[in-house]
Amino acid sequence: MWGGRFAEGPAAVMREINASIPFDKRMWQQDIAASQAHVAMLAEQGVVAAEDAATISSGLDRVAADYAENGVPDDLTLEDIHMLTEARLADAIGPVAGRLHTARSRNDQVATDFRLWVRDAIDQTLAALDALDAALLARAEQHAGDVMPGFTHLQSAQPVTLGHHLMAYHEMIARDGSRFQDARARMNLCPLGSAALAGTSFPLDRQATAAALGFDGPTRNSLDAVSDRDFAIEYLTCAAQCSLHLSRLAEEFVLWASQPFGFVSLSDQWSTGSSIMPQKRNPDAAELVRGHAGRITGCLVSLMVTMKGLPLAYSKDMQDDKPPVFECHDLLGLSIAAMTGMIASATFRTDRMRALAESGFATATDLADWLVREADVPFREAHHITGRAVARAEALGVTLDKVPLADLRAIDARIDDRIYSVLSVDASVASRTSFGGTAPANVRAAICAARGE
Q: Rounded to an integer, what distance in angstroms lies between the CA atom of residue 44 and that of residue 428? A: 71
The helix (H) or strand (E) run that includes residue 86 is helix 81-93
CB 363 within 8 A of CB 354: no
CB proximity list for 124: less than 8 A, separation 6 or greater? 329, 333
Question: Which of 153, 201, 275, 434 is labelled catalytic?
Answer: 153
CB proximity list for 404: less than 8 A, separation 6 or greater? none
To the nearest 10 degrees (0 to 180), the angle between helices 50-70 and 81-93 is 110
Q: Rounded to an integer, what distance in angstroms lies between the CA atom of residue 147 and that of residue 130? A: 26
CB 336 within 8 A of CB 293: no
Residues paired with residue 382 on neighbouring β-strands, in sequence order? none
Q: Is 318 exposed, middle or buried (0-12, 13-18, 19+ CB in 10 A)?
A: buried
CB proximity list for 237: less than 8 A, separation 6 or greater? 179, 183, 300
Q: Rounded to an integer, what distance in angstroms lies between the CA atom of residue 282 and that of residue 142? A: 25
Q: Rounded to an integer, what distance in angstroms lies between the CA atom of residue 72 and that of residue 66? A: 8
Q: Rounded to an integer, what distance in angstroms lies between the CA atom of residue 306 and that of residue 298? A: 12
Question: Which of 178, 258, 267, 274 is labelled catalytic?
Answer: 274
For CA atoms 262, 267, 269, 272, the dihedral sign is positive
User: Would residue 153 show up in a list of annotated catalytic residues for this protein?
Assistant: yes
CB 40 within 8 A of CB 57: yes
User: Would residue 274 show up in a list of annotated catalytic residues for this protein?
Assistant: yes
CB 328 within 8 A of CB 246: no
Compute the 3-state secondary structure of the chain and give helix, strand, coil in percent, each to the nearest 5: 70, 5, 25
Return the active site residues: 153, 274
